[in-house]
Amino acid sequence: MSGLRPDQRHSTFKGGKSGIPAIVSGKSSESLVTRYVSGLDPKIIMPPAGERLRAEEIAVLSA
């Protein structure tokens, strides 16, 4: 929905429509993927509906 292709390395580092990298190598706190699933940005939380990721899952993603 945002044009982000997490299955494609180039897209993941470039980002989707926001143009902000979904993953910043070695910096999970700056990576949109971990920021959005952690709820660090109150305006955008991922996934936008349904069950949120559990703390253990967020930890795996961050690692």
Site string (16-45) toward ligand HEM, x via CB under 6 A: xxx-x-x---------xx--xx------x-
Distance CA 22, CA 6 (A): 8
Q: Is the dihedral of CA 46, 48, 52, 53 positive or negative?
A: negative
CB of 7 to ligand HEM, least distance (A): 13
Which of 7, 10, 42, 48 contacts ligand HEM by CB under 6 A? Answer: 48
Residue number of the CB atom closest to ligand HEM? 16
**Contact status, residue 12 vs residue 22, Cβ threshold 8 Å:** yes
